[in-house]
Structure formats: C-alpha cells, structure tokens
Amino acid sequence: MSLLDLFRFSSHALLQNRRRSALSLLGVVIGVVAVTSLTAIGEGALRFVTDQFASLGTSIVIISPGKNETTGGIPLGIGGIPNDLTLRDTIVLERRIQAVRTAVPISVSTGTISHLERDRQVPIIGATAEFARLQQLEMAMGSFLPEGELDRGASVVVLGHIVARELFTSQNPLGSRVRIGGWRMRVIGVLKERGTQLGMQVDESVFIPTATGMRMANKSSVNRIMVELLPRSVPEDAIAEIKRILIERHDEEDFTCISQDAVMSSLASILGILTMVVAGIASVSLAVAGIGIMNVMLVSVSERTDEVGLLKAVGATGRQILAIFLLEAAMLSFAGGLLGLVLGTALVLLGNALYPAVDAATPLWAIGAVMALSLGTGVVFGVLPAWRASRLDPVAALQGH
Amino acid sequence: MIRVEDLWRTYLMGDHELHALRNVSEEIADGEYVAIMGPSGSGKSTLLNIVGCLDSPSRGRYFLAGEDVADFDEDALAETRLRRIGFIFQSFHLVPRLNSLQNVELPMIFAGIPLGERRVRAESALAAVDLTDRIEHKPNELSGGEKQRVAIARATIMGPGLLLADEPTGNLDTRSGARVLDLLGDLHRQGRTLIVVTHDPAVARRADRVVVMRDGEIAKRVKGTDIGDVASLFEFENLTEPAES
C-alpha cells in the first residue's frame, strides 16, 4: 500500500463523516487557540517591558547610596556610617572610566510649584542636560536644562506636560517666573506628553539643575548617579571599575550598582517562565482533546467493523489497517492544530488591533511545539482504536460482531 | 489443490465446547466446482472461512497447493487472501462510501498497484460483469444483483485461482441470482476452482460435486446432477428456509 493511497483512503473516510470529524477536532482547535494566544500575550508582555527598558537606554548603570546587604552584629567605630554620593563622585567617574560616556547626578525631592494663584505639589528632579537624552525626553517647546558646570546651579526649570497645562492653562509658559519652595525660577522648556512609564511620572514632574536641587533641599549629596556607558563597552567590566573607584574614594562599598541589563534580563526570565507555565496549562487541554479523538475513533472503528472485516478478507494486513486508522486520528488532530493556529493567530491580530500597546505575537517555538503536540496527541490517542481495528477477527467482523 | 485433513473447529461457549467442524477431511482438485450444502449451523460457512484463510482450525491440517497453511504467519495469510483467493459474500460487503470502481480497486490498493493501472483494470473488470454504466454509483444506488456483480469483479481483480462464494444468491431474486451464477460458471470455465456454499439445490445442481454437511461433519458427497436425490435423502426442510446471514 503506497503512502499516497494510505492518505487518500484515510482522508476519504474522514470526509465521509464530516460532522463527526469536525466535532472531534474542535477540542484540538480550542487547545491550540489557547496555547497560541496565551504565548502570544506572554511574548507581547515581554516585548512591552523590553521596549520600556530600551527607551531608558540599556547600557545604563544606576548607583544609589547604601548597600543592599544584611549585616550582623553591632557596627564598630565610625566605619558603618555610609558616605553619601556626591557631585564630586560623579565627576570622577566620568573622567576616570573610559567606558563611561556621561554620568548624571540626580537629586529627587518634592515641593510646591506656584504661578500666580495656582500651585501644585510635584516631584522635583535635579538633573543635567544629558538626562533628556538618557530618558529620551522630547521637548514640546523651549529647551531642556543647559549644559555646563555641574555645581553651577542656574535658577531655571523645565515643566512636565501636565504641570505646564495645570499652571498655565493655555498661556505660553516660556520665560515666565514660577516659585518652587522659596525659590524663583524661570521656565525654559516644556516637555512633550509622555504618558506613564516604568517608575516615573514624567508628565507630572519638574526638572531643575542638580546643583539647584541640592541647594533647595540643603543637601550636599545626590540621590542617584546615572551612568551611561559607551555603546561598545562591557557592562560587567564597567561596573567593576565603578565599584573600584567608589570604594577607593569611600573606603568601603557603601553603594549599590544596578545595571539596566540585569534588571531587564531577570524580568524577562520571570516573564518567560510565566509564559511557559501558562502555555503548559493550556496544552493540558490538548490532552483532553486527545481523549475526544480517541473516543471518536473508537466509535468509528466499531461502526466500520464490517469494513475492517472486508478489508482483511480482500488481503489487507493488520499493519495496513492499523496505519489507516492511525493516520485518520493523526489527520484529525493535525487539521485541528492547523485550524487552531489560524484562529489563534486571528485572535492575536484582533487583540493587537484593540490594544496596540501590547504587540502580541505567537513565538515560533510555540507554533512548532503546539503543532507537534497536536499531531502527537492524535497519534498517541489514535493507537488504541487503530490497534483494536487491526486485531479484529475477520470472520466475526464480517458477521457484524 | 485443496486438502483438509481431520479438521476441527471448536468454539468455547461459556464452559461447554461447540464443535462447528468435526473431523472433516476433503480434497478439492484445481479447477473443480464444488457446492457445500447443509442446514444452518452445519459448519459449511466455517469450512469455507478456513479454506479462505479467514479462520484457522482448532485441530487438523489444511494444505493449499501443497503448503501447510498452519505455517503461514499473519502477513502470509493476508498475502494469500490478496492474491490467491477471491471471496464473494451473501450480503455483498461493499464499502458503502466507495463507488463501484473504488470498491473493485480495493484489493489492488493493498497490493500497491499504482492508481492509473488500478483504474484501467477495475474498469475492465466492471465491463466484464456488464456494469460499465454503474462505475460511479455507490452501493446504495445499485440493485442487489448489481452489487453482487461488483463484488465478483472485486473478488477476481487480483486473478486468484480460487473463488469462494458464501450464499452468493441468498439475497437475490431468481433472475439476478441466475445471472450471478452464470458469471460464476464462466469464471469456473476459465479454469478457476470454485467453492459455493448454498442452501439452494438450483445453485448446487450446477456444481461438479456437492458436499453435504450436517452437525459439523461431511454427511454425503454426490454429483451435482444428482442433487434432487440428496434433497429427498436428507429431507431438507431448510431448502425453503430463509437464508442465513
């Protein structure tokens, strides 16, 4: 029996009983739709997070004061008091490490900004000119913070989109004076609307030079140092060097370095595991679908007992009969898999059209796995009915038993 | 040549044994036309199924052209049914979803004969039983006589030397039955061995030889032309009873 004839014979039998074939592959369709759409959502979420990080720049190291470490015992002497990060640290890092493109000292505080009779509580971010590039901030009007000496704090401010709208409504804020705390500042720029981003409400913040921010808060230290690495540098090496220099300056490791890469890769692996788990749960439904196929094939075998007897009488071997029924089960489940893939993809595309923020797409490995799984389901659950058919006693089968 | 020696076929029905065949020995020469007669349950179909390699005896031996069939493995049995034996059944056993042509093609599919050749051979086999205009018809669109002629075309398509017919006219009216018997007679005249199981003396009369069975044993062997005597001899109340399925 040639392979082509085998396919022809089995598909002919399936097409002859369309409704039952369709119903039995429905289970597979549902399972495959579940796997394709759920992995697509997982992949979309991963991409969303990755994009968010990419918009922050991936080769950024953030240094914060204090050590994330559990220590035991009572600290002896004065060695336990952490040194703060300073503007000087920033300058040294930028000058002494080749891999560092820029180092931005950041101070964070909150305060009240007022213009005429309107005022508003806002986060006040002290930063430098490079901050706009690192955060990919875009200007609606005016310009971002001026370049220049780190410790020369000018009395200028850049407003987030919402802040500008709330304080100035339809007026042009450029050049206007606002008060922040007790300080009079000149508005030099307004940011474009940004929307929510991981960890920072850009639209509701105001930006001033770091030195100004430190003076306003009466502090000599900064809250963070944001270090941008050169594109071709190795983050691990750069971090090692940053640590070495800061330890040299502080006499101890009283700070924490976090690279954006590390955060992103751990987030990505969490999302990846989550996707696998969800896909695994969804593929359990494929096993259920397999039982449906087995059931239908068993019914089919018992309905076609007479046919099986005849096939044996005209010279079919047990193996040929096994192959015929096994192929029917495999074709059922594979057709269900294909249909599920098409429907699942359609569902994903529909979802993308409705929620453009998440660019969901079923990953290739999931497509391959789900097709292999649905085919395998048919084969595994088709074995029993096909084996039963192949073992039928021809005399009894021809008598309709 | 077909030779069976001391053939027994025993079924276990609960805890008692049922002997469908007891101690049957018989020889059928190549090219012979033999009818097997006997009441229902006399073992004639069982004998035919064993000769057709569909069933195997509980005891005894069956030689097909000198080979002991007990030595055949499952594949060899299938191969024997495929190439050396053609079966014709009372209830036709056509596959309902396949048309006449496809039904006749079936054995050739399992023999691995390519599609083009299958078509040509099946068409000419259907022409030989005068069904050229029924090639595309499904079994439920055919009369009983037409179905049996399709079955005959299928049984002969692989050119077997041995044809086995189990009540071939049992479900047919007299006229279509006669036509089927004419066809079988033609096939016999072309040199095939033909064994027909029947209730019908009119069928048996055409055979060279009649083997009469009762209770699983061969009760009598007579010439086909002497069948009238047999009927009276055994008081065949079953000659008019409904056909067994």
Predicted TM-score (pTM) of this structure: 0.71
The enclosing H or E element of A303 equals: helix A260-303
Q: What pLDDT score does A35 carry?
A: 87
Cα–Cα dist B58/B81, whole Å: 20
Task: Choose the weakest-confidence range: A273-287, B22-36, B104-118.
Answer: A273-287
Instruction: Give the residue-averaged pLDDT of B58-73.
Output: 94
The enclosing H or E element of B20 equals: strand B16-28
Residue B52: pLDDT band (50, 70, 90) is very high
Contacts with A4 from chain B: Cβ below 8 Å: 115
Residues A34/A285, Cβ–Cβ less than 8 Å:
yes
Dihedral over alpha carbons B159, B160, B162, B166 (to 10 degrees) = -80
Determine, for residues B109 and A307 on separate chains, whether the beta-carbon distance falls below 8 Å.
Answer: no
Task: Please tell me which of the candidates A307, A316, A394 has its beta carbon nearest to residue B54.
Answer: A394
Contacts with B89 from chain A: Cβ below 8 Å: 398
Instruction: Give the residue-averaged pLDDT of A324-331.
Output: 93
Instruction: Find all residues with CB under 8 Å of A151, minimum gap 6, and list them.
Output: A87, A211
ipTM for the predicted complex comes to: 0.90
Q: What pLDDT score does B244 carry?
A: 46
Residue closest to A343 by CA, chosen among A330, A362, A326: A362
Cα–Cα dist A323/A312, whole Å: 13
What is the longest distance spanned by two Cα atoms in chain B? 54
Stronger pLDDT, B235 or B106, i.e. the higher one? B106
Residue A51: pLDDT band (50, 70, 90) is confident
The enclosing H or E element of A213 equals: helix A210-217
Cα–Cα dist A45/A43, whole Å: 5
Q: What pLDDT score does A77 carry?
A: 45
Residue A254: pLDDT band (50, 70, 90) is confident
Task: Choose the weakest-confidence range: A81-90, A139-148, A367-376, B167-176.
Answer: A81-90
* Residue position matching structure tokens 């489940």: A333
Determine, for residues A317 and B54 on separate chains, whether the beta-carbon distance falls below 8 Å.
Answer: no
Determine, for residues A12 and B109 on separate chains, whether the beta-carbon distance falls below 8 Å.
Answer: no
pLDDT, tens only, A190-218? 999 887 665 678 889 999 999 999 988 88
* Average pLDDT of chain A to the nearest whole number: 86
Tally of residues, chain B: 245
A-B CB pairs within 8 A amount to 65
Instruction: Find all residues with CB under 8 Å of B11, minimum gap 6, and list them.
Output: B17, B18, B20
pLDDT, tens only, A68-115? 555 554 444 444 456 688 888 998 998 998 888 899 999 999 999 998
Pick the residue of A2, A314, A393 with the most B CBs within 10 A to test the interface with B by mutation.
Answer: A314
Residues A204/A140, Cβ–Cβ less than 8 Å:
no
Residue B116: pLDDT band (50, 70, 90) is very high
Instruction: Find all residues with CB under 8 Å of A354, minimum gap 6, and list them.
Output: none
DSSP B179-222: HHHHHHHHHHHTT-EEEEE-S-HHHHTTSSEEEEEETTEEEEEE
Instruction: Give the residue-averaged pLDDT of A132-157.
Output: 86
Determine, for residues A314 and B107 on separate chains, whether the beta-carbon distance falls below 8 Å.
Answer: yes
Q: What pLDDT score does B239 carry?
A: 46
Cα–Cα dist B66/B51, whole Å: 13
Is pLDDT above 70 for A401?
Answer: no
Contacts with A312 from chain B: Cβ below 8 Å: 54, 78, 81
Q: What pLDDT score does B144 carry?
A: 94
Q: What pLDDT score does B241 carry?
A: 46
Task: Order the strands of the B33-37 sheet from edge to edge.
Answer: B85-88, B162-166, B193-197, B33-37, B209-214, B217-223
**3-class DSSP state for residue B113?**
coil
Cα–Cα dist B166/A292, whole Å: 39
Is pLDDT above 90 for B161?
Answer: yes
Break chain A into its structural domains and give their ranges: 3-53+265-398, 84-250
Q: Count CB neighbours of B215 within 10 A.
A: 14
Q: What pLDDT score does B190 carry?
A: 94
Alpha helices, DSSP H, located in A111-189: 130-134, 161-168
Measured between alpha carbons, how far apart are the two ends of chain A, in Å? Answer: 27
Instruction: Give the residue-averaged pLDDT of B202-217.
Output: 91
Q: What pLDDT score does A57 carry?
A: 58
Cα–Cα dist B165/A39, whole Å: 61
Phi and psi at A119, nearest 5°, equal: -140, 165
Is pLDDT above 80 for A363?
Answer: yes
Q: What pLDDT score does B243 carry?
A: 45
Q: Report B:24-53 residues touching A (Cβ under 8 A).
A: 49, 52
Q: What pLDDT score does B226 carry?
A: 76
Instruction: Give the residue-averaged pLDDT of B39-60.
Output: 93
Q: What pLDDT score does B131 carry?
A: 95
Q: What pLDDT score does A79 carry?
A: 47
Task: Choose the weakest-confidence range: A134-138, B103-107, B226-230.
Answer: B226-230
Determine, for residues A313 and B97 on separate chains, whether the beta-carbon distance falls below 8 Å.
Answer: no
Is pLDDT above 60 for A219?
Answer: yes
Determine, for residues A320 and B110 on separate chains, whether the beta-carbon distance falls below 8 Å.
Answer: yes
Residue A323 C-alpha, separation from nearest chain B C-alpha, in angstroms: 12
Contacts with A14 from chain B: Cβ below 8 Å: none
Q: What percent of chain A has pLDDT over 90?
A: 33
Determine, for residues A395 and B49 on separate chains, whether the beta-carbon distance falls below 8 Å.
Answer: yes
Determine, for residues B54 and A307 on separate chains, whether the beta-carbon distance falls below 8 Å.
Answer: no
Task: Choose the weakest-confidence range: A71-75, A377-381, B4-8.
Answer: A71-75
Residues B44/B213, Cβ–Cβ less than 8 Å:
yes
Cα–Cα dist B116/B105, whole Å: 11
Is pLDDT above 70 for B126?
Answer: yes
Instruction: Find all residues with CB under 8 Å of B25, minimum gap 6, and list them.
Output: B4, B5, B6, B7, B60, B218
* Average pLDDT of chain B to the nearest whole number: 90
Instruction: Give A190-201 as a 3 state SS string.
Output: EECCCCCECCEC
Q: What pLDDT score does A281 carry?
A: 84
Stronger pLDDT, B193 or A259, i.e. the higher one? B193
Contacts with A2 from chain B: Cβ below 8 Å: 112, 114
Pick the residue of B12, B45, B88, B97 with the most A CBs within 10 A to test the interface with A by mutation.
Answer: B97
Integer Rg of chain B from CA:
18
Task: Please tell me which of the candidates B78, B89, B109 has its beta carbon nearest to residue A398.
Answer: B89
Q: What angle do CA B31, B36, B40 make, to 5 degrees?
A: 160
β-pairing, A224-229 vs B33-37, is unpaired
Residue closest to A371 by CA, chosen among A31, A124, A4: A31
